[in-house]
Amino acid sequence: MEMPQSARPSAAAPEEAPPSASRKWLKKLFLQRHLQIMALLGVAWMIVFNYVPMYGIIIAFKEFNIVKSIASAPWVGFEHFKAFFEDDNFVNVMRNTLGISLIKLVIGFPLPILFALFLNELRSVRFKKAVQTISYLPHFLSWVILGGILTTWLADVGIINDILMALHLIQEPISYLAEPKYFWGIIIASDIWKELGWSAIIYLAAISSVSPDMYEAATIDGAGRFQKMWYITLPSIKATISILFILAVSGVLNSNFDQILVLRNTLNESASNVIDIYVYQTGMLSGRYSYSTAIGLFKSVIALILLLLANRVTKKLNNTSLF
């Protein structure tokens, strides 16, 4: 007797093969096509303006002439690097660059951390917002504007001399920008003034992610504000501090070209002649393109070495690194 049609065992339907990893990736790429197009524009910009010009680095090893092509320029090896090390300006340029940058690192790096810590402790929201706005404002002004303001303030008849003379701290006006001994202090103080509030933003963002339960538990245990900052806040933002420290160390040879260019003059040249200014003078003003490129390449190599060293040290100390 035949079994009913519904009771007969049917052949098992073939299972669909799971989508391959490449198909999943292509599907995800299609779903994110609008974001990917936006990202590709940024990648294209970076390739055109950051990577394509790197071909010109080879003129550091050639005797380049602007009326000829880079390919036709004769090779000279490391002659331009050797010339820089033997240059009479080498010691002065390196002293100014390292002096300004290291003092900025030692003084300017911890200050935004301290500012963010104390700003976080303010209880009045209105006062906190006012302080934030005032401290952020200088960042949005270019050094051309701030340079003009500082030049006016630091002039013989400027407000700084008026205040100091009114307080009887000096007997006669001082031309601060005409004295090399004041230049480093002016550069460091003005840089801190301009970037203090803006640099503190990332630390405030990191502090905002700390769990309030930790502070409540510390309050129950009798911890004061400074104890909370030392034992809770600082350890919680340690990773952020480490990453920014690595980036700051790698930029030690950067002395803020815009700032120094607008504040320097022939009278303070002995204290304001840093690597970036020297490259500008020898390359753009004197036309020594191969020589200035060699100096810039030397600076980039040192920055890479410092980045790798700082990254390794922070990884050893607190297991935090860029890579």
SS (H, E, C) the chain: CCCCHHHCCCCCCCCCCCCCHHHHHHHHHHHCHHHHHHHHHHHHHHHHHHHHHHHHHHHHHECCCCCCCCCCCCECCCHHHHHHHHCCCHHHHHHHHHHHHHHHHHHHCHHHHHHHHHHHCCCCHHHHHHHHHHHHHHHHCCHHHHHHHHHHHCCCCCHHHHHHHHCCCCCCCCCHHHCHHHHHHHHHHHHHHHHHHHHHHHHHHHHHCCCHHHHHHHHHCCCCHHHHHHHHHHHHCHHHHHHHHHHHHHCCCCCCHHHHHHHCCCCCHHHHCCHHHHHHHHHHHCCCHHHHHHHHHHHHHHHHHHHHHHHHHHHHHHCCCCC
* Tens-place pLDDT, residues 222-278: 888 888 898 899 989 998 999 999 989 988 888 889 999 999 999 999 999 999 999
Query: Mind listing the pLDDT tens digit for each residue in 92-127?
Result: 999 999 999 999 999 999 999 999 999 988 888 899
pLDDT range class, residue 313, cuts 50, 70, 90: confident
Distance CA 172, CA 46 (A): 53
- Select from 115, 96, 134, 126 the least CA-distant residue to 254: 96
User: d(Cα 52, Cα 39) in Å, to the nearest integer?
Assistant: 19
Task: Give the confidence band of 33 by pLDDT, cuts at 50, 70, 90.
Answer: confident
Q: What is the mean pLDDT of the chain?
A: 88
Structure tokens at 249: 């160390």
Q: What is the mean pLDDT of residues 5-9?
A: 52
Percentage of the chain modeled with pLDDT above 90 = 55
- Residue 99: CB atoms within 10 A of its CB come to 15
Percent pLDDT > 70 in the chain is: 94
Band (19; pLDDT cuts 50, 70, 90): low
Spans of all domains in the chain = 78-318
Residue 217 scores a pLDDT above 50: yes
Architecture category of domain 78-318 in CATH: Orthogonal Bundle (1.10)
* CA 55 from centre of chain: 25
Cα radius of gyration (the chain): 29
- Kindly report the pTM of this predicted structure: 0.82
pLDDT at 16: 56
Q: Which residues pair with 62 in a beta bridge?
A: 75
d(CA 113, CA 250): 19
pLDDT for position 99: 93
Average pLDDT over residues 30-56: 90
Any idea what the Cα angle at residue 180 is, between residues 177 and 182, rounded to 5°? 65
Higher-scoring residue by pLDDT: 15, 69: 69
Q: In the structure, what pLDDT confidence band is assigned to residue 138 with cuts at 50, 70 and 90?
A: very high
